[in-house]
Amino acid sequence: MQNELGYRGLEVYKKSHKLVIIIYEITKNFPKEEIFGLISQIRRASVSIPANIVEGYGRNSKKIRYIFSLLPGFS
């Protein structure tokens, strides 16, 4: 049975979302000349974590859901 909150109910999603917020707060204090280099790369990497969780959770395959259910933090 799926959680009625969907992926938002997953602890791993909640933690990854908090990480994105922290990364954005930290990187806003980086030098402005890094805006298109290091800052962009760090932010994109952090955003990809919850994005991949959402993408994986949205798959309809029973086999995929079974595999995810075996991973720690997925319900």
pLDDT 10s digits, 9-55: 889 999 999 999 999 999 999 999 988 899 999 999 999 999 988 88
Please check whether residue 17 is in contact with residue 58, taking contact to mean a CB–CB distance below 8 angstroms: no
Please give the pLDDT value at position 68: 67
Please give the pLDDT value at position 1: 41
Helix 11-27 × helix 38-57 angle, to 10° = 170
Instruction: Measure CA 60 to chain center.
Output: 19
> Taking the model in full, what pTM does it have?
0.70
